[in-house]
Amino acid sequence: MIIIPRYMGRPGDLQFNGPDLKEIDAAGGGCSDATIKLLVHANGVDGGTSFPDTSCSPHTMTLQGSCTTSTTQVKFGSASLHVPGTAASLYTDNGVDNADFGFGTGDFTIEFWLYPENTNARTLVYMLDPSGGFNQSKVWLYYNNQGIRCFIDNADRVNSGDNTITFNAWKHIALTRASGVFRIFIEGVKLDEQTYSTDLGATGWCFLGNTSAFGNGLDGYMDDIRITKGTARYTANFTPPASEFPDP
């Protein structure tokens, strides 16, 4: 058995590591799905500030602003991530680049449950490109005009169309890329697919609920956030999960 310490970040940062150690069997028996690079259930008490990543390679989640676990709206488990507006976010590894979020030209899946409370444009998931500067996104998943959009290389590359999101209700959202084809799903229904060839880099870091500028935050809730690298979990219509994602 190999014991790997979790990254603890820099002194003074408000970070959430869960258990200090993660056990991984050298033969592979301790992790059932190493393609899962981020899994945040956002369980806890109302007003809590602990957001452990339970993936096989757990990341420190750094809190910006007033994000909390909330029992007001919950899809699965005991709580959800509440992002109350502009200057609030969770982001990975205190801004240290990591290969887990460098998708290159390969397949990937970003998925979560969303409960929006505001009709304005808001950020859901923001993947930062370290080579392009602090405010340069690789993948910017956001909603506007009651639709889900994916912004890459200074343009929306795939979107669900307007009026496809219901406010004050839970919806499963998924963005996948398979062999260069981007697809957006809401509640398991494929609403758009577009071929766009681009290299998303070798490293990166991830923001939940806001951009790196902390000025376009989600006003609402997210639950069971999962990022998979190397696999497009959905390429056609599917039935959304009926329970919380299992830990790998």
pLDDT tens per residue across all 248 residues of the chain: 333 333 334 333 444 444 333 433 433 457 899 999 999 999 999 999 999 999 999 999 998 888 999 999 999 999 999 999 877 889 999 888 899 999 999 999 999 999 999 877 788 998 876 655 544 568 999 998 889 999 988 889 999 999 899 899 999 999 999 999 999 999 999 999 999 989 998 999 899 998 877 677 899 999 999 999 999 999 999 999 999 999 99
pLDDT digits 0-9 by tens, 59-96: 999 988 889 999 999 999 999 999 998 778 899 998 88
Instruction: Record the tokens describing residue 170, joined without a space.
Output: 């839970």
Q: What is the pLDDT of residue 6?
A: 38
Q: What is the pLDDT of residue 131?
A: 59
Domains assigned to the chain:
2-229 (2.60.120.200)
Q: What is the pLDDT of residue 137?
A: 64
Name the residue type at position 155: A
Q: What is the pLDDT of residue 3?
A: 35
User: What are the start-end ranges of the H helices in the chain?
Assistant: none
CB burial of residue 133 (10 Å; 0-12, 13-18, 19+): exposed
Q: What is the DSSP letter of 48?
A: B
Instruction: Record the tokens describing residue 197, joined without a space.
Output: 């060839």
Chain center to CA of 189: 19
Helices and strands per DSSP (H, E), number in the chain: 0, 18
pLDDT digits 0-9 by tens, 91-103: 999 888 899 999 9
What are the angstrom distances between the C-alpha of 61 and each of 32, 118, 145, 156?
22, 25, 30, 28
Name which of 152, 70, 75 is nearest 111 in CA terms. 75
Distance in angstroms (rounded) separating the CA atoms of residues 140 and 138: 7
pTM, full prediction:
0.86
